[in-house]
Amino acid sequence: MSGNKAILDSNLLIFLSKEMIDRKKLYAKYDEFCVSVITYMEVYAFEFSNKNEKDSLDKTFANLEIIEINREIADQAILYRKNKSKKIKLPDAIILASAKYINADLLTDDWDDFQNIDSTVNVKDVDDLKI
């Protein structure tokens, strides 16, 4: 393990529930995994095609820390939303701000949505992780 934290984006969790990502390989890359409360809401709003996907997701969430929105995360998300060079949706701004707050890599399949917003947050595309 690398000794690092990772915050998982919604699409990555859905890939896990559909077994499109090797869970063991992912877990070997980081010591701690978290999600933003926004991700929690987005994922459980997803329409799963079968009960196994939701059960898999329930097991995954049982082992994740959920990062609640606090004033520091909210203020950082506001700054991201005010970025004149690139637009970012509010949920994505909160997820990115949560990653910054806990000093974690952000793992996502929507890498480009987070680019050129904050160079201090390490955003990693799931395809580059080779999982």
Return the sign of the alpha-carbon dihedral for residues 114, 65, 25, 59: negative
Domain range list for the chain: 5-126
- Tell me which of 3.40.50.1010, 3.30.565.10, 3.30.360.10, 1.20.120.1630 is the CATH number of domain 5-126: 3.40.50.1010
pLDDT of residue 63: 87
Q: What value does the mean pLDDT take over residues 102-106?
A: 96
Give the span between the Cα atoms of 47 and 1, in whole angstroms. Answer: 33
pLDDT of residue 3: 53
The residue whose two tokens read 């060079």 is 85
The residue whose two tokens read 């010591």 is 31
Q: What value does the mean pLDDT take over residues 88-112?
A: 95
List the end-to-end C-alpha distance of the chain, in Å, as a whole number.
14
pLDDT of residue 1: 41
52-99: pLDDT as tens digits: 888 989 988 998 999 999 999 999 999 999 988 889 999 999 999 999
Answer yes or no: are the C-beta atoms of 121 and 96 closer than 8 Å.
yes
1-47: pLDDT as tens digits: 445 999 999 999 988 888 888 888 888 889 999 999 999 999 999 88
| Neighbour tally for 64: CB within 10 Å | 16
CA distances from 114 to 55, 79, 118, 127 (A): 29, 14, 8, 15
48-52, 91-95, 106-110, range with the lowest pLDDT: 48-52
